[in-house]
Each structure stands twice: as structure tokens, then as C-alpha cells.
A and B are shown apart, each in its own frame.
Chain A
């Protein structure tokens, strides 16, 4: 048996949480007896389950303790016996009164009984083999389930990769577009060394931005791009940082521009730029 595959099939966890059929449980138990790694995995899983169960621990009502202790103290008396649930009571006199076995004698009837007994034994052996084949079938089902789960995971990964590819292709098309004019925005004053790039298509008015080296803004703050034209700032939108920092972000369209600037504003952007919070600027 492939022990690692068995362990990762989920049969052990299902056994511990009580999800398996009686037959599967017997199979797990024989696997535990045979393979120390399986025994270890089952024990580790049991301990997890037991820790989870212990989180639900609740102190029982006080009177139950004395009820139980009374019951075991008096268990050998008839009154104590009454306190026990029916299935736990002593079997009583009936068992002791069973008649003694008669002496053994080989009569014709006895011979037929033995033949019948052998036939039953043969049938039991046959049932045993059937069970073994059923066990193999079960193992194949386990394997199939784990393959199925693998396949689902691969499909998810594939879809994520395709989505990523779509994004990258979109970005590449923008970068390759000859009509888009790229401008580097450099840091000024205490922000010297910072860099962002802005792409502008004078025909379609589209604007794209890459934040590059801008520092992460504080909570409640967001960078905003402005297009200055004849001394007047026009809002070109706010943009995301974090994971989006190096991505190409589409901004609001701009019809005319002399200088692009980026300022730090409150989250959601402002109507006019806070020029004391000017980070980078660049002339297309």
C-alpha cells in the first residue's frame, strides 16, 4: 500500500470525525495496526479533534457528580443495580442455570450437521474474499476522490493564471501603443529620488499611470494625479498603492496638459491639489 497516498486521501480525518462506514473503520483500524506512520497520523488527528472538543467543555450541574458516585458505591446492592441503566445491569441467575452439555456421539444426524457446518464455513470464506475485493474497490474510490480534488485545484490555478495573462496582455498593449506619450514624473524638494510615469494619448485623451517608487500613504490618504494647463489644475483621479503600485492604472481622461503633478490628498481625492503635498512632477 502507498502509505503517503493513503494518509493524504482524507480517510484518516474522516475516520476521526466519525464520517466513515463501519467497514471503512475496520480497514483504517487494520491499517493502523500494520503501518506505524498511519498510526501516528491518526493519533495526531485525534489529538487535534480532542483539543477542539475540549474547547466546548462545560462544567456539568453539581448534582450529577453525587448521583454517579452513589450509583457506583451501591452498585453491588439490588438498590444500586436499580440505579444503573438497563444494559449495564448484571445478567442475573439465568446464565448460571444453563443445562450442561450432553456427551458427544457420532450419529448419522451428527454427520449431516457437520456437513452443513462445513458448507456454512465455505460460504463464510467466500464472503470474506468478496469483502476483500470490496476493500480494493473502496481504495480505488479514495484514490479517485483525491485525483478529483487535485484536478479541481489545478483548474483553479489555471483560471487564475489565465486571468493574470489577460491583465498582462492588456498592459502590454498600452505600453506598445505608439500614440501614447510617456512622461517621467520626478520627485521635487524633499521627495527627490521618487519616480512615477504617466502615459497620455493626446488623440483619445486616455491617461495611464505607474506609481513606481512613491512611498505607501498613511491610512485615510491617497495620491491624486493632476494635469496643469495654463496654470489651472484638472483632476485626473486618485490611484491605488500596495499591490497595484507597479501595475498600469487607468486614470481619468485629460484633454490638455502642460505639467503632470501628483499630490497626497485625503482618501477619495480633493477638488484642488494640496501643493504643499506635491510629491512628483513632469512635463510631457
Chain B
């Protein structure tokens, strides 16, 4: 690679906005800031939509809607309540789950979807080319089935505590403490990555 090209590459990848600058830029309707936002966050948001909907076309439509909502509703973002990424993820999750519910809200379907994901790190990932298969399969391998079901059905399928209790055949009153244990396990696995 010629010297100057390396240089350009480094300069480009080094260029970052802080969250405050992003929010300010979006509020000022700065389209360059918006493209930056898209380039940096679309894989994570698309990943959420894809995992929730299990359908590339629907996930693409959702992603478009999500970014237009971010552009239109940036004034509703309140940094007191959390980081920008948290806010954007919530929009993505809610939009995709709304779309999922309009398609089907059968519990069996949700379980079926998550069940399919058991083979995610063999088949699915090569199709969708997740940006971090290695880390993902490491984490998935080490979470036990109950922990994966709690985190994935709750976050990605919008299941209620009652539904989780039914699926896992555990008392409703223990869902919260088990969720805590699952998240603690996840934290330790992420630390080890």
C-alpha cells in the first residue's frame, strides 16, 4: 500500500464525534453528522432488527424507519435519561417489535425463532456476516439455555415475565432474580472476551 493511502485511511478512521457533538449536529440538521451516525451505528441497529424479525427485507424497512425517526425526533432525546446509543437502540427495538407484533404475536412463533438461533453460529451467521462472529459464538456457547432464553426472548422478542415463566416452567416470582443471574453471567463472559 502506498504511503499516502495509509495516511488517508488512518485519518479517516481516527475521525470521531463525541456523543454530545453528534446530538448537537443532529439538532442542527447537519447531514454530514447524520451520515456519520448511519455509518457507525447502522450495523448494530440492523443487527437488532434482523434478530427480532428474522427477515432481511423487514429488517431493512425497519432500519430505514429507525433512522428517519432518529432524524425527526432528535429533539425528544434527553441525555439525562441515558446515552444516545441507548436511545437509538430503544427506537430500533421498539420499532422492530411493533413490526413483529403486527406480523405475528404467537408465543410459539417467538420460541421457534429463538430455537432456530441455537444453530446461529453454524449457519445463520455466515449468511448475515455478523461483524463479530467469534465473540458472539464464544458468548453463546457459554450461556446456558435458560440464560439465553431469558435474555433473548425478553430483549429480542418482547416476551413478558409470564411468558418466560411458562416457557421455562419456573415460578413467576423467580423470573427477575434469574434475569439478574443471567445478566451477571453475561457480564463475566463479556469481560473475558
| Chain A residues within CB distance 8 Å of chain B | 8-14, 16-20, 29, 43, 45-46, 48-61, 64-65, 67-69, 71-73, 75, 84-85, 88, 141-142, 144-146, 148-149, 152
Contact = CB atoms under 8 A, between A and B. Distances in A.
Interface centre among A20, A55, A59, A65 (most CB of B within 10 A): A55
24 contacts: A10-B177, A10-B179, A13-B179, A14-B180, A17-B150, A19-B164, A19-B176, A46-B82, A48-B186, A49-B155, A53-B155, A55-B132, A55-B135, A55-B136, A56-B47, A58-B129, A58-B130, A60-B43, A60-B46, A60-B63, A64-B46, A68-B68, A88-B69, A146-B176
A46 B86 CA distance: 8
A53 B136 CA distance: 9
A72 B93 CA distance: 22
Nearest to B92: A53
A111 B175 CA distance: 52
Contact of A56 (B83, B136, B176): B136
Contact of A52 (B46, B131, B139): B139
B114 interface: no
A17 B183 contact: yes
A14 B69 CA distance: 26
B107 interface: no
B187 to A, nearest CB: 5
What are the 3 A-B residue pairs with the smallest beta carbon separation, nearest first? Answer: A10-B176, A10-B180, A57-B43
Contacts of A49: 155, 183, 186
A107 to B, nearest CB: 40
A16 B90 CA distance: 10
Contact of B68 (A46, A58, A65, A88): A88
Interface string B23-46: 000000001001100110011101
Interface size band for B:
35 or more
B167 interface: no
B6 to A, nearest CB: 23
A58 B150 contact: no
Interface secondary structure of A, over-half rule:
helix
Interface string B181-193: 1110011001000
Nearest to B29: A72
B77 interface: no
B154 A11 contact: no
B160 to A, nearest CB: 7
A26 to B, nearest CB: 12
Contact of A19 (B64, B139, B161, B190): B161
B89 interface: yes
Contact of A59 (B89, B129, B159): B129
Most chain-B Cβ atoms within 10 A of its Cβ — which of A64, A71, A75?
A64
Contacts of B44: 53-54, 56-57
B3 interface: no
B48 interface: yes
A64 B35 CA distance: 12
A152 B42 CA distance: 43
B63 A50 contact: no
